[in-house]
Amino acid sequence: MHIFRIVIVSIALLGACKSDQSATGESATQAMGLYAQGFNLLIKDPREVVDDYFRTIPAATGPTLDAKPHLFGQHTFAASAIRDARAAFDQAKHDAPSSLANLAPLADKALVACDHVVAVYTDAYKYYDAESYKDDKLAKGKQLHQDMIAAAKDFDTALDNMSAGLTAIEDAQAADEIKSHEGTKDYGYWFRAYTFEAKKLLAVAHRGDAAAIGKAVAAFEPTDTAFTKFVADKGTGLAQAFSPYAGAADRFHAAVTKLARAPKDFDMNELVSAYNSLVNTGNSLYQLEGTPALE
């Protein structure tokens, strides 16, 4: 699952635009940034709770006495992430215009699903840490396993649904921002445009259709070529703050090249990871716009 960009609008600017109820106005951008912040937290540590459980206890086989399961206590990190995500969502609901009203229930369901996963994992952690399975011959362990399978399914569904809701709004906002930067086609334009086109390619790649992937890669190449020329033309004058993004773009294009060469054998996690690097480095650039660091 990929992460979302985080754009936080200044409070002064937000106050002047509260009457704008559109999905691309300043209020919507502020709220969307907060929803993205919360979502990005939920797909990290809470996701690791699920992954750690099933790395230790395979879903298909369940726990066995011979395996002597031992969980690593990922719930302690997840609890903090969920708390911070809940705070971000609460602020997002407060700031959001009516055009983003559908995100609130999606966020609530994501939090409920995360709470459930952590609760089941916490019980399992305590159970295996105390080696209580030696006393009940794994009776509780088997029930906890079924509970975790159900909780993980709800977790994936809730986060997939929220991801879809965020994607629709993020795409509209990104297209609007790119259009507003077309006149200069400087740093602000390129980190927005490149990430936007990369996201479109990622969406096609996820579907796994080799022919469609070939067309998507061909459609993406002109953007990469133009971006590479932009960076090369800057030469030694390239803003130091922009260098990490340029490096992330190189990494993404390398993954795209591998994807195009063997779409059926390609590890999609590599493309997702490269895309997430674009988003992470791009998120830092939003905070530097209008400063000497990005001139």
Q: CA-CA distance, 251 to 286, in Å (whole number)?
A: 21
Q: Tens of pLDDT along 147-185? A: 999 999 999 999 999 999 999 999 999 999 999 999 989
* Residue whose tokens read 């009776």: 139
Q: Which of the pair, 29 or 248, is modelled with greater confidence?
A: 248
Average pLDDT over residues 133-159: 97
Domains in the chain and their CATH numbers?
1-177 (no CATH), 181-295 (1.20.120)
| 262, 266, 272, 275: CA torsion to nearest 10 | -30
- Please report the pLDDT score of residue 2 as a whole number: 80
- Please report the pLDDT score of residue 7 as a whole number: 66
Q: CA-CA distance, 179 to 119, in Å (whole number)?
A: 45
- Please report the pLDDT score of residue 8 as a whole number: 59
- Which pTM does this prediction carry? 0.84
Q: Tens of pLDDT along 240-259? A: 999 999 999 999 999 999 99
Q: CA-CA distance, 275 to 153, in Å (whole number)?
A: 25
Q: Tens of pLDDT along 42-90? A: 999 999 999 999 999 999 999 999 998 999 999 999 999 999 999 999 9
Structural tokens at position 258: 């591998």
Q: What is the sign, positive or negative, of the torsion defined by CA atoms of 256, 258, 262, 264?
A: negative
pLDDT tier for residue 113 given thresholds of 50, 70 and 90: very high
Q: Give the H/E segment covering residue 165.
A: helix 139-180
CB < 8 Å & 24+ apart, contacts of 53-61: 53/121, 53/124, 53/148, 53/152, 54/148, 54/152, 57/145, 57/148, 59/149
